Structure 1
Amino acid sequence: MKIGFDNEKYLKIQSEHIKERIDQFGDKLYLEFGGKLFDDYHASRVLPGFAPDSKLQMLMQLSDMAEIVIVISATDIEKNKKRGDLGITYDVDVLRLISEYEKKGLYVGSVVITQFAGQSGAVQFQKRLEKKGIDVYRHYLIDGYPSNVSLIVSPDGFGKNEYVRTTRPLVVVTAPGPGSGKMATCLSQLYHENLRGVRAGYAKFETFPIWNIPLKHPVNLAYEAATADLNDVNMIDPFHLEAYGVTTVNYNRDIEIFPVLNAIFERIYGENHYYKSPTDMGVNMAGNCIIDDEVCCEASRMEIIRRYYTAMNKIAKEDGGENELYKIELLMKQAKITPADRKVTVAAMDRANKLGVPTAAMELPDGTIVTSKTSNLLGASAALLLNALKQLAQIDHDRNLISPEVIEPIQKLKTGYLGAKNPRLHTDEVLVALSVTAASDPTAKLAMEQMPKLSGCQMHTSVMLSDVDSKTLKRLGVDLTCEPVRESAAKGEF
C-alpha cells in the first residue's frame, strides 16, 4: 500500500500549532473537537499513512496540559439516539469514551448535558454519572439560539448555564456525535471565563474539509461524499478571501454561522481581534502533511465509489433516501470517476456475469486480484477469504485449507440443530474452522498468519452480504462494497 501522508510530521506540527493557539489567548483555550477521536478510518482511507488514532495520539502528547469535557444533548438522551457505526446509545457512548480516555492517561474533567429542560432521562443519566464521581453540569435551551445574540450573551442566556470548572489550559470539548452542542458549550464558557477575568479563547479542530487544498480536490470531495446525508457542502471561505485575499476551503455550516459567532465574540470580548474568518478558527494541519498528492487523490476517488455503493445499499434496504445517492453521483462526475474505475468491482461483476452465481473479488496489497464464487460449501465471501489467504501465503490454489469433512458437520449443526436455511459457511464460521484446522495443519497455520495483511484490501461482491459477513470483514479491516442486489437463501449469501 502506497503512503501519501506523513503521520509523524502530523503529530508533531499539530500539537505545536495547538500550543501556539493557547498562547495566542493567554490563559485557556476551548478546543472543539469534531469528527472521531478514535478509529478515524475515513481519514486513514483517504490519506494513506494517517493512523486511525492519530488525533488521540496527538492529544496524548498534550496530556499534561489538557482536560476533556464531554458534551451530550438531553434531547438525544431522551430519544435514545444511537451511533450509527457502533450501534450504542449516546449516553452509553459517553461512559465508553470516559473509560477509553482514562485508559490512555487522559484527564476527563466533566460532562455537560446541553439543551436541558428537565428531561427525566437526562436527570437519571446525571445521577448515574455523579454516582461514579463524575462532575456534571447543565446547559439550558436559549430562545432564538444562535441568532438572538443580545439574549444569548447575557445573564438570561449563557448566564443561566452552569459554569464548568476546568483546571488546565487546554480544554478539549468532544461529544458522541454531531448536534450535541459542542460549540455552544465552548461559547458559554468564554462568556463565563470573561466575567471571571480569565483570558480564554476558542478554536475548532476538524480534519475535513482540508482548508489549504483545492475546493474540488478528491480528498475534499470524499468528505462531501461521507457527509452526503447531512447535506454538508464544501465552499470557498468568502470571509477569509475578503480579509486576506487568500482562497481557503471550509464548509457551509461554519460559513453560515460565522457572522453570528463574530457578533458573539464581539459582545464577549468587546471586539474580535482574533478571527476574521471561519478558517481562522481552525487549527487543522493535515494539509501540510500530504507527501504524495496523487496517492491521496486515488485513495479518495476509491472512497467516493465506496460511498456510492453504501448509499445504493441503504436504498435497497429501505434505510436511506435517494437524495444522498444523487449527491454522491454528482460528486463522482466532478471527480471524473465511475464504478468501473474500481478494479475489484469489474473483476467481481465480470465473473458473476459469466457464471450466473454470486461472486466476490479482492485486491491484495501487491495489486493481485483474487476472485471466488458461491459453492455448496461456502458463500462467495467466505471462499474469497480462503483464496486470498492462500495467495498471500503462496499456497497452491487447489490445496484445501479446510477439508469437506470439517465443513460438513458445521453445516449439519447450522441446518439440523440451529434452524438455519443456508448451509453455506459465513466468513466468521470459515475462520473458526480454519483456526481449528491450523492447530494440527502447518499449511492452514501459515494461511492464518496472513490475516493481518487483509487490512486495507479492497473487496466487492455481486450481492449484498449478511450483517455477519459484513461485520467480520470490517473487523479484518477490509474495505467492502456490494452490489445492491438481494439473493435468496437458496442461491445467495443469506
Structure 2
Amino acid sequence: MNIGFDNEKYLNMQSAHIRERINQFDNKLYLEFGGKLFDDYHASRVLPGFCPDSKLRLLKELSDQAEIVIVISAGDIEKNKIRGDLGITYDSDVLRLMEAYTNNGLYVSSVVITQYTGQSSADLFKSRLERLGIRVYIHYMIPGYPSNVPLIVSDDGYGKNDYIETTRPLVVITAPGPGSGKMATCLSQLYHEHKRGIRAGYAKFETFPIWNIPLKHPVNLAYEAATADLNDVNMIDPFHLEAYGKTTVNYNRDVEIFPVLRATFERIYGKSPYNSPTDMGVNMAGNCICNDEICQKASCQEIIRRYYDALRRLLIGSCSEEEVYKIEMLMNQAGITVHDRPVVDAALACAERTGGPAAALELPDGRIITGKTSKLLGASAALLLNALKELAGIDHEKHVISPDAIEPIQKLKVNYLGSKNPRLHTDEVLIALSVSAAMDKYAQLALEQLPKLKGCQAHTSVMVSSVDMKQFKKLSIQATFEAKYEKKAVFFRKKVV
C-alpha cells in the first residue's frame, strides 16, 4: 500500500495535544470522540497509512485517568440503524464496543440513551443493558434545540437529563456512529457539574473534516459523502475567521451548536474559553499527511464507492434520492466520475464481451484481473480465483480446484439445501481451495496469496449476494457493485427512478 499518512507522528502529536487540553481544566474534562474509536476504517481508506485503532491506542496511554461513556440515540434504536462497515445495528454495536474496550484494558462506566421521546425499543434496550449490570442514563429531546439557548441551558433543558455519575478526570464520550448526541451529552454534563460545584471542561476529538486543509480537498469531500444521510455540510468556520482572521474548516452541526456551547460556558464561568468551533478541537491529523497526492486519490475512490453504495441502497429502498444527488454533487466538486475507478469499466467491458455478469479487481501493482460467470462459478468467485492465480504466477488454464471437487458442493446446494443457483459463491470457492491445498501444491500457493488482496479495488457488473459482499469485506477488498439485479424477479419489476 502506498502511504500518504504518518501514523506514528500522528500518535505522538495527538497524545501530547490531548494532555495539554486536559491541563487547561481542573479535575474533569469531557472529551467528545467523533468517528469510530475502535475501528476507523473510513480514516484508514482516505488517509492510507492511518491505523484503524489509532484512537484506541491513544486512549490506552491514558487508561489510568480515563473512563468511557457510550452514547446511542433512541431514534437510531427505533430505526434499527445499521453500521455500514460491519452490517450490525447500533444497539448491537454498543455491546460489541463495550466488550472490545474492556478487553483492551479500558473502563466503560455507562451507556446514555439520547434524544429520548418514549420510544418503546429504547425502553427494551435499556432493560436489556440493566439486566447485564450496565448503568444506563436517559437524555431527552429539548424543544427548540439548538437555537433556544435560554431553555436549553436551564433546569427545563439540560436540567431534565439524567446526571451521569463519573469517577475519573477524563471522560470520553463516544458512540457507534454520527448523530448520536455526543456533544449534547457533554454540554449537559457541564451544566450538571456546575450545579455540583465542579469546574469541568469540554474538548472535541473529531478526525473529519480536517480543519487545516482546504474546504474542497477530496479528504474533506469524502467525509461529506460518508455522512450524506445526515445532511452534514463542510463549511468555513465563521467564528474562527472573525476571531483570528484565519480560514479553517468545520461542519454545519458544530457551527450551529457553537453558540450553545459558548452560552453554556458563559453562564457557568462568565467567559467562554473558546472563540470558535475550531478552538474546541484537538485533531492533529492534517499535520501528519506526508503525501497529499496519495490521500487525494484514495479519497476520490472513497467518494465513488460511497456513490455506488448509495445507488445500491436506493435500489433496495434504504436510501433517498437526495442522498444520491448529494454524492453526485460531491463527485462534480472533486472533478471525478465513475470512470476514474478503473475496475468499473473493466467489469462492464467483460460483462458485455461475455454476455453475463462479470467482475474486475485491481491488484496492488495496477494490473486488472477479471472474472466471468460460468456453469461452475459465479463472477465474484471466478474473479477471486483468477486474482490468486495471477498473484501466485500460476497459469490461468491450470485448475487449482478440480471440477470433480466442485460438483459435490453443487449437488449439496441444489439437491439437499434447496438452492436454485448451482454456481459457487466466494466462500464456497475458498473452502474448496483450502481442501485442495492439502494435496495440491498449486492450490496451496494460490491460498497463500489471500493477504495480498487487502486494500484491492473491485467492481461487479450486477448486485451480488450478501454472502459475496461479506466475503469481500472479510478479505478487506474495497468493492463496489452496479445497482442492477442479475435477474428481474417478480418483486423487483417496478422501475426505480
| TM-score, structure 2 normalization | 0.93
**More deviation, 107-116/203-212:** 107-116
Q: Distance in 2 between matches of 1:134 and 1:315?
A: 37
**How much does 1:328 deviate?**
1.6
**Number of the residue aligned with 1:162:** 162
The aligned runs of 1:406-425 (5 Å cut-off) are 406-425=405-424
Distance 2:339 2:122 in 1: 49
Aligned to 1:292: 291
Quick one: structure 1 residues 311 and 120, their matched pair in 2 at CA, closer, same or farther if it must change by over 3 Å?
A: closer
Call closer, same or farther: CA 1:456–1:328 in 2, change over 3 Å.
Answer: same
After TM superposition, list the pairs within 5 Å mapping 1:95-494 onto structure 2.
Answer: 95-116=95-116, 121-272=121-272, 274-488=273-487
Which whole-Å CA distance do the structure 1 matches of 2:132 and 2:239 have between them?
45
* TM-aligned CA deviation for residue 22 of structure 1: 0.8
**Would you say the 8 A contact 1:422–1:489 is kept in 2?**
no
For the Cα contact (< 8 Å) 2:74–2:113, is it kept in 1?
A: yes
**Partners of 2:327 and 2:116 in 1: CA distance:** 36
Structure 1 pair 233–77 and aligned structure 2 pair: CA distance change class (3 A): closer
- AA at the equivalent of 2:429: V
Deviation, structure 1 residue 122: 4.2
Moved more, 55-64 or 217-226: 55-64
1:121 offset after TM fit, Å? 4.6
1:175 Cα deviation after fit: 1.8
Say if 2:191 and 2:264, in contact at 8 Å, map to a contact too. no
The superposition leaves residues 143-200 of structure 1 with CA deviations (integer Å, 9 ceiling, x where unpaired) of 3333332232223332333322212221001122333322121111111222333221
310-319 or 54-63, larger mean C-alpha shift: 310-319
Aligned-residue offset at 1:211 = 0.5
Distance (whole Å) between structure 2 residues aligned to residue 148 and residue 110 of structure 1: 29
How far has the Cα of 1:87 moved from its partner? 4.2
Kept in 1, the 8 Å contact 2:77–2:122? The answer is yes
Conserved 8 A contact 1:209-1:250: yes
Deviation at 1:88, TM superposition (A): 3.6
Distance in 2, matches of 1:143 and 1:231, equals 21
Call closer, same or farther: CA 1:111–1:469 in 2, change over 3 Å. same
Measure, in 1, the Cα distance between the counterparts of 2:236 and 2:346.
Answer: 39
1:22 and 2:56 matched: no
Q: SS of the counterpart of 1:24?
A: coil
Instruction: Tell me if the contact between 2:69 and 2:111 (Cα under 8 Å) persists in the aligned partners.
Output: yes
Unaligned runs of 5+ in 2: 490-497
* Equivalent residue number for residue 492 of structure 2: none
Q: What displacement does 1:360 show?
A: 1.2
Q: Contact 1:421/1:489 (CA < 8 Å) preserved in 2? A: no
Residues 215, 235 of structure 2: 8 Å contact kept? yes
C-alpha distance in 2 between matches for 1:472 and 1:134: 34
Contact kept? 2:179, 2:230, Cα under 8 Å: no
C-alpha distance 140-483 of structure 1, shift in aligned 2 (>3 A): closer
Q: Is the 8 A contact 1:3 1:292 kept in 2?
A: yes
SS at match of 2:459: strand
Structure 1: distance between partners of 2:79 and 2:358: 41
Structure 1 range deviating more: 249-258 or 127-136: 127-136
Post-superposition Cα deviations, 1:17-71, rounded to whole Å, max 9, x if no partner, equal 1111111123221011111112221111110001112221222122121110112
Give identity over the alignment, percent.
Answer: 73
8 A Cα contact 2:307 2:327, kept in partner: yes
User: Secondary structure of 2:71's partner?
Assistant: strand
1:11 and 1:58 in contact (8 A); partners too: yes
Tell whether the 8 Å contact from 1:194 to 1:269 is kept in structure 2 after alignment.
no
